[in-house]
Amino acid sequence: MISREKLIELLEERSPARVRALLDTADRTRAYAVGESVHLRALIEISNVCRRNCLYCGLRAANRHLPRYRMADREIVEAVLSAAARGRRTVVLQSGEDSALTAPRVARMIRRIKDAADVAVTLSLGEYPRDDYFQMREAGADRYLLKHETVDPDLYKSLHPGMSFERRIRCLVWLKEAGFQAGSGMMVGLPGQSAATLADDIIFLRRLDADMAGIGPFIPHPHTPLKHSSPGGADLCLKAVALTRLALPFAHIPATTALATLCPNGTERALKAGADVIMPLATPEKYRRLYEIYPDRSPSSDSGPDSVIELVRRLGRTVSRDYGHTAPRLNLLAPFDISAYKRALQRCPL
Protein backbone atom coordinates (compact mmCIF):
# COMPACT_ATOMS: atom_id res chain seq x y z
CA MET A 1 0.00 0.00 0.00
CA ILE A 2 1.23 3.46 -0.89
CA SER A 3 2.11 5.47 2.22
CA ARG A 4 -0.13 8.26 3.46
CA GLU A 5 2.58 10.80 2.63
CA LYS A 6 2.84 9.50 -0.94
CA LEU A 7 -0.93 9.56 -1.34
CA ILE A 8 -1.02 13.21 -0.26
CA GLU A 9 1.85 14.05 -2.61
CA LEU A 10 0.09 12.36 -5.55
CA LEU A 11 -3.25 14.00 -4.78
CA GLU A 12 -1.45 17.37 -4.82
CA GLU A 13 0.57 16.55 -7.96
CA ARG A 14 0.10 19.15 -10.70
CA SER A 15 2.59 18.08 -13.39
CA PRO A 16 0.45 16.86 -16.33
CA ALA A 17 3.02 14.19 -17.25
CA ARG A 18 3.17 12.77 -13.74
CA VAL A 19 -0.61 12.86 -13.33
CA ARG A 20 -0.94 11.05 -16.69
CA ALA A 21 1.52 8.42 -15.48
CA LEU A 22 -0.55 7.90 -12.33
CA LEU A 23 -3.80 7.51 -14.28
CA ASP A 24 -2.12 5.12 -16.76
CA THR A 25 -0.79 3.01 -13.91
CA ALA A 26 -4.27 2.79 -12.43
CA ASP A 27 -5.65 1.82 -15.85
CA ARG A 28 -3.09 -1.00 -16.20
CA THR A 29 -3.84 -2.16 -12.67
CA ARG A 30 -7.54 -2.25 -13.50
CA ALA A 31 -6.81 -4.24 -16.67
CA TYR A 32 -4.93 -7.05 -14.96
CA ALA A 33 -7.01 -7.11 -11.75
CA VAL A 34 -10.61 -6.91 -13.02
CA GLY A 35 -10.10 -7.16 -16.77
CA GLU A 36 -11.55 -5.34 -19.76
CA SER A 37 -15.21 -5.82 -18.87
CA VAL A 38 -17.26 -2.78 -17.93
CA HIS A 39 -20.23 -3.57 -15.72
CA LEU A 40 -23.46 -1.69 -16.41
CA ARG A 41 -25.56 -1.48 -13.25
CA ALA A 42 -29.07 -0.14 -13.85
CA LEU A 43 -29.80 2.60 -11.33
CA ILE A 44 -33.41 2.85 -10.13
CA GLU A 45 -34.11 5.70 -7.73
CA ILE A 46 -37.08 4.33 -5.83
CA SER A 47 -37.83 7.25 -3.48
CA ASN A 48 -36.58 10.81 -3.05
CA VAL A 49 -38.02 11.11 0.47
CA CYS A 50 -35.32 11.56 3.10
CA ARG A 51 -35.46 12.19 6.84
CA ARG A 52 -31.83 13.42 6.94
CA ASN A 53 -30.43 16.88 6.38
CA CYS A 54 -26.97 16.39 4.90
CA LEU A 55 -25.70 19.88 4.13
CA TYR A 56 -24.69 19.12 0.53
CA CYS A 57 -27.71 17.16 -0.69
CA GLY A 58 -30.75 18.36 -2.62
CA LEU A 59 -32.88 15.54 -1.17
CA ARG A 60 -32.41 16.82 2.39
CA ALA A 61 -35.66 16.96 4.37
CA ALA A 62 -35.43 20.74 4.78
CA ASN A 63 -35.52 21.32 1.01
CA ARG A 64 -39.18 22.31 0.59
CA HIS A 65 -38.71 23.15 -3.11
CA LEU A 66 -38.50 19.50 -4.13
CA PRO A 67 -41.71 17.55 -4.90
CA ARG A 68 -41.35 14.11 -3.32
CA TYR A 69 -42.18 10.68 -4.76
CA ARG A 70 -42.12 7.06 -3.76
CA MET A 71 -42.28 4.34 -6.39
CA ALA A 72 -44.83 1.59 -5.80
CA ASP A 73 -43.50 -1.98 -5.63
CA ARG A 74 -45.20 -2.71 -8.95
CA GLU A 75 -43.37 0.22 -10.61
CA ILE A 76 -40.07 -0.95 -9.17
CA VAL A 77 -40.51 -4.47 -10.53
CA GLU A 78 -41.50 -3.05 -13.93
CA ALA A 79 -38.35 -0.89 -13.98
CA VAL A 80 -36.25 -3.94 -13.05
CA LEU A 81 -37.83 -6.03 -15.82
CA SER A 82 -37.24 -3.26 -18.33
CA ALA A 83 -33.54 -3.02 -17.31
CA ALA A 84 -33.18 -6.81 -17.44
CA ALA A 85 -34.71 -6.84 -20.93
CA ARG A 86 -31.94 -4.44 -22.00
CA GLY A 87 -29.36 -6.93 -20.74
CA ARG A 88 -28.53 -5.43 -17.36
CA ARG A 89 -27.50 -8.12 -14.86
CA THR A 90 -27.48 -5.84 -11.81
CA VAL A 91 -30.05 -3.35 -10.59
CA VAL A 92 -29.18 -0.75 -7.97
CA LEU A 93 -32.13 0.36 -5.84
CA GLN A 94 -31.32 3.74 -4.38
CA SER A 95 -33.29 6.16 -2.23
CA GLY A 96 -33.08 8.80 0.45
CA GLU A 97 -33.38 7.53 4.02
CA ASP A 98 -37.09 6.95 3.72
CA SER A 99 -38.83 5.62 6.85
CA ALA A 100 -41.45 3.97 4.61
CA LEU A 101 -38.76 1.62 3.33
CA THR A 102 -38.86 -0.69 6.32
CA ALA A 103 -36.76 -3.85 6.28
CA PRO A 104 -39.80 -6.16 5.85
CA ARG A 105 -40.99 -4.10 2.87
CA VAL A 106 -37.53 -4.03 1.30
CA ALA A 107 -37.18 -7.79 1.88
CA ARG A 108 -40.54 -8.39 0.18
CA MET A 109 -39.50 -6.24 -2.74
CA ILE A 110 -36.19 -8.10 -3.14
CA ARG A 111 -38.02 -11.44 -3.22
CA ARG A 112 -40.42 -10.15 -5.88
CA ILE A 113 -37.51 -8.90 -7.97
CA LYS A 114 -35.58 -12.16 -7.63
CA ASP A 115 -38.68 -14.13 -8.61
CA ALA A 116 -39.28 -11.92 -11.64
CA ALA A 117 -35.79 -11.35 -13.07
CA ASP A 118 -32.35 -12.91 -13.23
CA VAL A 119 -30.46 -9.97 -11.76
CA ALA A 120 -28.13 -9.20 -8.89
CA VAL A 121 -29.58 -6.61 -6.51
CA THR A 122 -27.58 -3.79 -5.01
CA LEU A 123 -29.21 -1.66 -2.32
CA SER A 124 -28.30 1.90 -1.44
CA LEU A 125 -30.91 2.91 1.11
CA GLY A 126 -28.87 4.35 3.98
CA GLU A 127 -28.51 3.39 7.61
CA TYR A 128 -30.54 0.63 9.29
CA PRO A 129 -30.24 -1.42 12.49
CA ARG A 130 -28.02 -4.51 12.23
CA ASP A 131 -30.90 -7.02 12.10
CA ASP A 132 -32.52 -5.14 9.22
CA TYR A 133 -29.42 -5.58 7.08
CA PHE A 134 -29.47 -9.31 7.83
CA GLN A 135 -33.14 -9.45 6.82
CA MET A 136 -32.42 -7.79 3.48
CA ARG A 137 -29.46 -10.06 2.83
CA GLU A 138 -31.49 -13.18 3.68
CA ALA A 139 -34.15 -12.00 1.22
CA GLY A 140 -31.51 -12.23 -1.52
CA ALA A 141 -29.92 -8.78 -1.89
CA ASP A 142 -26.33 -9.17 -3.05
CA ARG A 143 -24.64 -5.85 -2.42
CA TYR A 144 -25.05 -2.70 -0.37
CA LEU A 145 -23.60 0.75 -0.97
CA LEU A 146 -23.13 3.09 1.98
CA LYS A 147 -20.72 5.89 1.25
CA HIS A 148 -18.79 7.18 4.27
CA GLU A 149 -18.39 10.55 2.42
CA THR A 150 -15.46 11.67 4.59
CA VAL A 151 -13.34 9.90 7.15
CA ASP A 152 -12.69 13.11 9.11
CA PRO A 153 -15.09 12.74 12.09
CA ASP A 154 -15.37 16.52 12.67
CA LEU A 155 -16.07 17.23 9.01
CA TYR A 156 -18.52 14.32 8.94
CA LYS A 157 -20.36 15.73 11.96
CA SER A 158 -20.54 19.24 10.51
CA LEU A 159 -21.96 17.96 7.19
CA HIS A 160 -24.41 15.46 8.67
CA PRO A 161 -26.53 17.00 11.45
CA GLY A 162 -27.79 14.41 13.91
CA MET A 163 -25.65 11.64 12.42
CA SER A 164 -22.51 10.01 13.75
CA PHE A 165 -19.41 8.82 11.97
CA GLU A 166 -19.07 5.94 14.46
CA ARG A 167 -22.56 4.75 13.57
CA ARG A 168 -21.69 4.94 9.87
CA ILE A 169 -18.67 2.72 10.35
CA ARG A 170 -20.69 0.33 12.50
CA CYS A 171 -23.25 0.02 9.67
CA LEU A 172 -20.48 -0.83 7.21
CA VAL A 173 -19.17 -3.53 9.54
CA TRP A 174 -22.70 -4.94 9.93
CA LEU A 175 -23.10 -5.06 6.16
CA LYS A 176 -19.94 -7.13 5.90
CA GLU A 177 -21.07 -9.37 8.75
CA ALA A 178 -24.41 -9.89 6.99
CA GLY A 179 -22.51 -11.19 3.95
CA PHE A 180 -23.10 -8.31 1.57
CA GLN A 181 -20.55 -7.22 -0.97
CA ALA A 182 -20.18 -3.85 0.69
CA GLY A 183 -19.30 -0.59 -0.98
CA SER A 184 -18.40 2.78 0.40
CA GLY A 185 -16.85 5.95 -0.97
CA MET A 186 -16.34 9.64 -0.59
CA MET A 187 -17.06 13.01 -2.08
CA VAL A 188 -14.14 14.95 -3.48
CA GLY A 189 -13.83 18.70 -2.95
CA LEU A 190 -16.07 19.08 0.08
CA PRO A 191 -15.64 22.42 1.83
CA GLY A 192 -13.12 21.84 4.63
CA GLN A 193 -11.59 18.74 3.02
CA SER A 194 -7.82 18.55 2.45
CA ALA A 195 -5.53 16.24 0.48
CA ALA A 196 -4.67 14.59 3.81
CA THR A 197 -8.38 13.87 4.46
CA LEU A 198 -8.72 12.33 0.99
CA ALA A 199 -5.62 10.22 1.56
CA ASP A 200 -7.21 8.98 4.78
CA ASP A 201 -10.41 8.20 2.85
CA ILE A 202 -8.45 5.97 0.48
CA ILE A 203 -6.66 4.26 3.37
CA PHE A 204 -10.05 3.74 5.02
CA LEU A 205 -11.47 2.06 1.89
CA ARG A 206 -8.46 -0.24 1.83
CA ARG A 207 -8.83 -1.10 5.52
CA LEU A 208 -12.51 -1.78 5.00
CA ASP A 209 -11.52 -3.99 2.06
CA ALA A 210 -14.41 -2.39 0.21
CA ASP A 211 -15.91 -4.45 -2.61
CA MET A 212 -17.03 -1.27 -4.33
CA ALA A 213 -15.77 2.30 -4.05
CA GLY A 214 -17.75 5.30 -5.33
CA ILE A 215 -15.82 8.54 -5.71
CA GLY A 216 -17.54 11.61 -7.08
CA PRO A 217 -17.00 15.37 -6.92
CA PHE A 218 -18.99 17.63 -4.63
CA ILE A 219 -21.46 19.70 -6.68
CA PRO A 220 -23.30 22.47 -4.81
CA HIS A 221 -27.08 22.43 -4.88
CA PRO A 222 -28.90 25.82 -4.85
CA HIS A 223 -31.34 24.75 -2.12
CA THR A 224 -28.78 23.61 0.43
CA PRO A 225 -26.62 25.43 2.99
CA LEU A 226 -23.56 24.79 0.77
CA LYS A 227 -25.06 26.55 -2.25
CA HIS A 228 -22.27 29.13 -2.39
CA SER A 229 -19.39 26.65 -2.08
CA SER A 230 -17.16 25.82 -5.03
CA PRO A 231 -17.56 22.41 -6.69
CA GLY A 232 -14.89 19.74 -6.40
CA GLY A 233 -12.33 19.48 -9.19
CA ALA A 234 -12.56 16.82 -11.90
CA ASP A 235 -8.77 16.36 -11.97
CA LEU A 236 -8.57 15.80 -8.22
CA CYS A 237 -11.47 13.37 -8.47
CA LEU A 238 -9.70 11.38 -11.20
CA LYS A 239 -6.53 11.21 -9.12
CA ALA A 240 -8.59 9.90 -6.19
CA VAL A 241 -10.19 7.27 -8.48
CA ALA A 242 -6.74 6.21 -9.72
CA LEU A 243 -5.24 5.97 -6.25
CA THR A 244 -8.26 4.02 -5.01
CA ARG A 245 -7.70 1.53 -7.85
CA LEU A 246 -4.07 1.14 -6.77
CA ALA A 247 -5.17 0.68 -3.15
CA LEU A 248 -7.98 -1.75 -4.04
CA PRO A 249 -7.01 -3.46 -7.31
CA PHE A 250 -9.97 -5.87 -7.28
CA ALA A 251 -12.75 -3.51 -6.24
CA HIS A 252 -15.50 -2.36 -8.57
CA ILE A 253 -15.18 1.39 -9.08
CA PRO A 254 -17.85 3.37 -10.95
CA ALA A 255 -17.35 6.25 -13.32
CA THR A 256 -19.79 8.41 -11.35
CA THR A 257 -22.64 10.47 -12.75
CA ALA A 258 -21.39 13.41 -10.67
CA LEU A 259 -18.08 13.37 -12.52
CA ALA A 260 -19.90 13.13 -15.88
CA THR A 261 -22.00 16.11 -14.79
CA LEU A 262 -18.96 18.15 -13.85
CA CYS A 263 -17.06 17.53 -17.09
CA PRO A 264 -18.49 16.36 -20.43
CA ASN A 265 -16.07 13.47 -20.95
CA GLY A 266 -15.98 12.51 -17.27
CA THR A 267 -17.16 8.93 -17.85
CA GLU A 268 -14.47 8.25 -20.43
CA ARG A 269 -11.77 9.85 -18.30
CA ALA A 270 -12.77 7.79 -15.27
CA LEU A 271 -12.81 4.56 -17.32
CA LYS A 272 -9.23 5.38 -18.34
CA ALA A 273 -8.20 6.06 -14.74
CA GLY A 274 -9.20 2.82 -13.05
CA ALA A 275 -13.01 2.70 -13.19
CA ASP A 276 -14.82 -0.42 -14.42
CA VAL A 277 -18.50 0.29 -13.70
CA ILE A 278 -21.12 2.61 -15.21
CA MET A 279 -24.57 3.08 -13.73
CA PRO A 280 -27.02 3.98 -16.51
CA LEU A 281 -30.20 5.55 -15.20
CA ALA A 282 -33.19 3.20 -15.23
CA THR A 283 -35.50 5.32 -13.07
CA PRO A 284 -38.86 5.85 -14.84
CA GLU A 285 -38.78 9.05 -16.89
CA LYS A 286 -41.40 10.86 -14.78
CA TYR A 287 -39.29 10.64 -11.60
CA ARG A 288 -35.84 11.37 -12.99
CA ARG A 289 -35.69 15.13 -12.55
CA LEU A 290 -36.98 14.75 -8.99
CA TYR A 291 -33.99 12.76 -7.77
CA GLU A 292 -31.97 15.91 -7.58
CA ILE A 293 -29.07 15.26 -5.21
CA TYR A 294 -27.24 17.97 -7.15
CA PRO A 295 -28.50 20.05 -10.10
CA ASP A 296 -28.21 19.42 -13.85
CA ARG A 297 -27.38 15.74 -13.55
CA SER A 298 -25.93 14.17 -16.66
CA PRO A 299 -26.97 10.54 -16.27
CA SER A 300 -25.55 7.82 -18.49
CA SER A 301 -27.79 6.26 -21.09
CA ASP A 302 -27.43 2.67 -22.27
CA SER A 303 -29.14 3.17 -25.62
CA GLY A 304 -28.62 5.44 -28.64
CA PRO A 305 -25.49 6.58 -30.48
CA ASP A 306 -24.12 8.45 -27.44
CA SER A 307 -24.74 5.54 -25.14
CA VAL A 308 -22.21 4.19 -22.72
CA ILE A 309 -22.22 0.94 -24.70
CA GLU A 310 -20.79 2.81 -27.69
CA LEU A 311 -18.24 4.45 -25.42
CA VAL A 312 -17.16 1.10 -23.96
CA ARG A 313 -16.70 -0.31 -27.48
CA ARG A 314 -14.75 2.75 -28.63
CA LEU A 315 -12.35 2.23 -25.73
CA GLY A 316 -11.76 -1.36 -26.88
CA ARG A 317 -13.46 -2.79 -23.82
CA THR A 318 -16.45 -5.10 -23.49
CA VAL A 319 -19.79 -4.80 -21.75
CA SER A 320 -19.94 -7.45 -19.06
CA ARG A 321 -22.64 -10.07 -19.42
CA ASP A 322 -22.29 -11.47 -15.91
CA TYR A 323 -23.51 -10.23 -12.55
CA GLY A 324 -20.22 -8.49 -11.83
CA HIS A 325 -19.79 -9.88 -8.35
CA THR A 326 -16.55 -9.19 -6.56
CA ALA A 327 -13.86 -11.78 -7.24
CA PRO A 328 -13.51 -14.26 -4.38
CA ARG A 329 -10.95 -12.72 -2.18
CA LEU A 330 -8.23 -11.59 -1.89
CA ASN A 331 -8.10 -9.57 1.24
CA LEU A 332 -5.48 -8.14 3.51
CA LEU A 333 -5.16 -11.34 5.50
CA ALA A 334 -4.88 -13.56 2.42
CA PRO A 335 -2.88 -11.48 -0.03
CA PHE A 336 -3.28 -12.14 -3.74
CA ASP A 337 -0.36 -12.89 -6.07
CA ILE A 338 1.07 -9.45 -6.09
CA SER A 339 3.69 -9.73 -8.84
CA ALA A 340 1.61 -8.22 -11.68
CA TYR A 341 0.48 -5.44 -9.37
CA LYS A 342 4.09 -4.68 -8.47
CA ARG A 343 5.14 -4.73 -12.10
CA ALA A 344 2.40 -2.20 -12.93
CA LEU A 345 3.52 0.02 -10.08
CA GLN A 346 7.18 -0.23 -11.13
CA ARG A 347 6.31 1.14 -14.54
CA CYS A 348 4.89 4.23 -12.88
CA PRO A 349 7.67 6.84 -12.77
CA LEU A 350 6.22 8.59 -9.72
Positions touching ligand SF4 (CB under 6 A) are 50, 52, 54, 57, 59-60, 96-97, 126
∠ CA 152-154-157, nearest 5°, is 105
CA distances from 275 to 59, 61, 240 (A): 27, 32, 11
Residue type, 217: P
- Name which of 50 and 247 has its Cβ closer to ligand SF4: 50
- Name which of 68 and 176 has its Cβ closer to ligand SF4: 68
CB of 190 to ligand SF4, least distance (A): 12
Of the candidates 11, 60, 3, 6, the residue with the CA atom closest to the CA atom of residue 237: 11
CB of 53 to ligand SF4, least distance (A): 6
CB of 90 to ligand SF4, least distance (A): 21
The dihedral formed by the CA atoms of 14, 219, 148 and 7, expressed in degrees to the nearest 10: 0
CB of 60 to ligand SF4, least distance (A): 4
The alpha carbon of 82 is separated from its chain's Cα centroid by a whole number of angstroms, namely 22
- Name which of 47 and 320 has its Cβ closer to ligand SF4: 47
Of the candidates 109, 140, 145, the residue with the CA atom closest to the CA atom of residue 124: 145
CB of 98 to ligand SF4, least distance (A): 9
Residue type, 91: V
- Name which of 41 and 60 has its Cβ closer to ligand SF4: 60
Residues 6+ positions from 247 with CB-CB distance below 8 Å: 1, 2, 202, 203, 205, 206
Interatomic CA distance for residues 280 and 277, integer angstroms = 10
